[in-house]
Amino acid sequence: MNGEEKLEHARERVIEAISQNMNLYGVTESIGRLYGALYFQEDPLTLDEMKEELGMSKTSMSTSVRSLLELKMVGKVWKKGVRKDLYQAEPDWYQTFIDFFSIKWRTGISINVSAMEKSLAELQTLIDDQSVDHQVKTEAARDMEKLTDALEYYDWLNRLVDSFESKEIFQFVPKKR
Protein backbone atom coordinates (compact mmCIF):
# COMPACT_ATOMS: atom_id res chain seq x y z
CA MET A 1 0.00 0.00 0.00
CA ASN A 2 1.52 3.31 -1.06
CA GLY A 3 1.30 6.59 0.88
CA GLU A 4 -1.78 7.85 -0.95
CA GLU A 5 -3.62 4.55 -0.36
CA LYS A 6 -2.69 4.62 3.33
CA LEU A 7 -3.98 8.19 3.62
CA GLU A 8 -7.25 7.21 1.94
CA HIS A 9 -7.54 4.13 4.17
CA ALA A 10 -7.03 6.21 7.34
CA ARG A 11 -9.67 8.71 6.21
CA GLU A 12 -12.11 5.99 5.20
CA ARG A 13 -11.84 4.39 8.66
CA VAL A 14 -12.89 7.68 10.29
CA ILE A 15 -15.64 8.36 7.74
CA GLU A 16 -17.05 4.87 8.33
CA ALA A 17 -17.00 5.35 12.11
CA ILE A 18 -18.71 8.74 11.81
CA SER A 19 -21.38 7.35 9.50
CA GLN A 20 -22.10 4.40 11.81
CA ASN A 21 -22.41 6.62 14.87
CA MET A 22 -24.60 9.31 13.29
CA ASN A 23 -27.66 7.19 14.10
CA LEU A 24 -27.09 8.22 17.73
CA TYR A 25 -28.11 11.69 16.55
CA GLY A 26 -31.02 10.53 14.42
CA VAL A 27 -29.06 10.93 11.19
CA THR A 28 -28.76 8.22 8.54
CA GLU A 29 -25.47 6.55 7.74
CA SER A 30 -25.41 8.05 4.25
CA ILE A 31 -25.73 11.56 5.70
CA GLY A 32 -22.97 10.72 8.17
CA ARG A 33 -20.82 9.44 5.32
CA LEU A 34 -21.37 12.70 3.44
CA TYR A 35 -20.38 14.74 6.50
CA GLY A 36 -17.27 12.60 6.99
CA ALA A 37 -16.27 12.95 3.35
CA LEU A 38 -16.77 16.73 3.46
CA TYR A 39 -14.78 16.94 6.68
CA PHE A 40 -11.62 15.75 4.93
CA GLN A 41 -12.04 18.05 1.92
CA GLU A 42 -9.76 21.06 1.85
CA ASP A 43 -12.01 22.97 -0.53
CA PRO A 44 -15.80 23.25 -0.57
CA LEU A 45 -17.68 21.00 -3.02
CA THR A 46 -20.71 21.38 -5.26
CA LEU A 47 -23.56 18.86 -5.20
CA ASP A 48 -22.23 17.37 -8.44
CA GLU A 49 -18.76 16.92 -6.95
CA MET A 50 -20.21 15.31 -3.83
CA LYS A 51 -22.39 13.04 -5.97
CA GLU A 52 -19.31 11.92 -7.90
CA GLU A 53 -17.27 11.46 -4.69
CA LEU A 54 -19.88 9.32 -2.93
CA GLY A 55 -21.81 7.76 -5.79
CA MET A 56 -25.17 8.94 -4.46
CA SER A 57 -28.02 10.16 -6.63
CA LYS A 58 -28.39 13.92 -6.98
CA THR A 59 -31.77 13.81 -5.21
CA SER A 60 -30.36 11.83 -2.30
CA MET A 61 -27.32 14.11 -2.17
CA SER A 62 -29.52 17.22 -2.14
CA THR A 63 -31.68 15.81 0.68
CA SER A 64 -28.59 14.84 2.68
CA VAL A 65 -27.00 18.26 2.26
CA ARG A 66 -30.26 19.93 3.31
CA SER A 67 -30.32 17.80 6.47
CA LEU A 68 -26.72 18.71 7.27
CA LEU A 69 -27.48 22.40 6.66
CA GLU A 70 -30.44 22.26 9.07
CA LEU A 71 -28.22 20.66 11.68
CA LYS A 72 -25.53 23.29 11.00
CA MET A 73 -23.01 20.52 10.32
CA VAL A 74 -22.23 22.00 6.91
CA GLY A 75 -22.47 25.50 5.57
CA LYS A 76 -22.79 27.14 2.20
CA VAL A 77 -19.73 29.05 1.15
CA TRP A 78 -19.19 31.59 -1.60
CA LYS A 79 -16.29 31.50 -3.99
CA LYS A 80 -15.65 34.14 -6.62
CA GLY A 81 -16.41 32.93 -10.11
CA VAL A 82 -18.35 29.83 -9.03
CA ARG A 83 -22.05 29.91 -9.82
CA LYS A 84 -23.09 26.65 -8.17
CA ASP A 85 -23.65 26.37 -4.44
CA LEU A 86 -20.58 25.18 -2.56
CA TYR A 87 -20.71 23.31 0.73
CA GLN A 88 -18.14 22.75 3.44
CA ALA A 89 -18.22 20.74 6.67
CA GLU A 90 -18.23 22.72 9.91
CA PRO A 91 -14.67 22.01 11.13
CA ASP A 92 -15.33 22.89 14.78
CA TRP A 93 -16.72 19.72 16.33
CA TYR A 94 -17.51 21.55 19.56
CA GLN A 95 -19.72 23.98 17.67
CA THR A 96 -21.26 21.17 15.63
CA PHE A 97 -22.21 19.34 18.82
CA ILE A 98 -23.56 22.52 20.43
CA ASP A 99 -25.67 23.36 17.41
CA PHE A 100 -26.98 19.82 17.02
CA PHE A 101 -27.62 19.37 20.73
CA SER A 102 -29.36 22.73 21.00
CA ILE A 103 -31.59 22.24 17.96
CA LYS A 104 -32.72 18.75 18.99
CA TRP A 105 -33.19 19.46 22.69
CA ARG A 106 -34.96 22.80 22.23
CA THR A 107 -37.47 21.05 19.96
CA GLY A 108 -38.03 18.23 22.45
CA ILE A 109 -38.30 20.60 25.38
CA SER A 110 -40.83 22.78 23.59
CA ILE A 111 -43.05 19.85 22.62
CA ASN A 112 -43.01 18.28 26.08
CA VAL A 113 -43.45 21.53 28.04
CA SER A 114 -46.37 22.56 25.84
CA ALA A 115 -48.11 19.21 26.37
CA MET A 116 -47.46 19.30 30.11
CA GLU A 117 -48.75 22.86 30.53
CA LYS A 118 -51.96 21.99 28.66
CA SER A 119 -52.42 18.88 30.78
CA LEU A 120 -51.78 20.81 33.99
CA ALA A 121 -54.55 23.25 33.04
CA GLU A 122 -56.93 20.37 32.29
CA LEU A 123 -56.02 18.60 35.52
CA GLN A 124 -56.64 21.80 37.50
CA THR A 125 -60.07 22.06 35.87
CA LEU A 126 -60.81 18.50 36.99
CA ILE A 127 -59.77 19.28 40.55
CA ASP A 128 -61.90 22.45 40.61
CA ASP A 129 -64.97 20.69 39.18
CA GLN A 130 -67.38 19.83 42.02
CA SER A 131 -69.04 17.06 39.99
CA VAL A 132 -65.83 15.05 39.53
CA ASP A 133 -65.30 11.95 41.67
CA HIS A 134 -62.92 12.29 44.66
CA GLN A 135 -60.69 9.43 43.41
CA VAL A 136 -60.27 11.15 40.02
CA LYS A 137 -59.36 14.41 41.80
CA THR A 138 -56.77 12.57 43.92
CA GLU A 139 -55.19 11.02 40.84
CA ALA A 140 -55.29 14.36 39.02
CA ALA A 141 -53.48 16.01 41.96
CA ARG A 142 -50.80 13.28 41.86
CA ASP A 143 -50.40 13.76 38.12
CA MET A 144 -50.04 17.50 38.66
CA GLU A 145 -47.20 16.88 41.12
CA LYS A 146 -45.45 14.62 38.63
CA LEU A 147 -45.86 17.14 35.83
CA THR A 148 -44.66 19.99 38.03
CA ASP A 149 -41.53 17.97 38.85
CA ALA A 150 -41.05 17.24 35.14
CA LEU A 151 -41.36 20.96 34.32
CA GLU A 152 -38.59 21.66 36.83
CA TYR A 153 -36.46 19.15 34.93
CA TYR A 154 -37.23 20.89 31.62
CA ASP A 155 -36.33 24.23 33.16
CA TRP A 156 -32.97 22.71 34.16
CA LEU A 157 -32.55 21.20 30.68
CA ASN A 158 -33.27 24.59 29.09
CA ARG A 159 -30.60 26.15 31.28
CA LEU A 160 -28.19 23.37 30.31
CA VAL A 161 -28.82 24.09 26.62
CA ASP A 162 -28.34 27.82 27.39
CA SER A 163 -24.94 26.97 28.87
CA PHE A 164 -23.97 25.21 25.65
CA GLU A 165 -25.16 28.05 23.43
CA SER A 166 -23.42 30.69 25.55
CA LYS A 167 -20.33 28.42 25.77
CA GLU A 168 -20.50 28.74 29.56
CA ILE A 169 -20.32 24.92 29.63
CA PHE A 170 -16.60 25.23 28.83
CA GLN A 171 -16.05 26.82 32.25
CA PHE A 172 -17.20 23.55 33.81
CA VAL A 173 -15.89 21.14 31.18
CA PRO A 174 -13.00 22.96 29.48
CA LYS A 175 -11.70 22.16 26.03
CA LYS A 176 -8.21 20.66 26.11
CA ARG A 177 -6.72 23.48 24.00
HSE-CB of 100 using CA atoms within 13 angstroms:
18
Q: What is the pLDDT of residue 156?
A: 97
Q: What is the pLDDT of residue 25?
A: 75
- The residue ranges of every structural domain in the chain are 3-91, 94-172
d(CA 8, CA 58): 24
Q: What is the pLDDT of residue 60?
A: 86
Q: What is the pLDDT of residue 23?
A: 78
> Is residue 15 within 8 Å of 22, Cβ to Cβ?
no
Q: What is the pLDDT of residue 58?
A: 82
Average pLDDT by stretches of 10, the chain with 177 residues:
92 92 82 90 90 85 90 88 89 89 92 97 96 95 97 97 96 90
Q: In 3D, which of 7, 5, 39 has the Cα closest to residue 22?
A: 39
> Which CATH number does 3-91 carry?
1.10.10.10
Q: What is the pLDDT of residue 159?
A: 97
CA angle 153, 158, 164 (to 5 degrees): 130
Q: What is the pLDDT of residue 66?
A: 92
115 by DSSP, 3-state: which? Answer: helix
Buried b (16+ CB within 10 A) or exposed e, 1-38: eeeeeeeeeeeeeebeebbeebeeeebeebbbbbbbbb
Q: What is the pLDDT of residue 124?
A: 97
Q: What is the pLDDT of residue 1?
A: 83
pTM above 0.85, yes or no: no
> Is residue 73 within 8 Å of 100, Cβ to Cβ?
yes
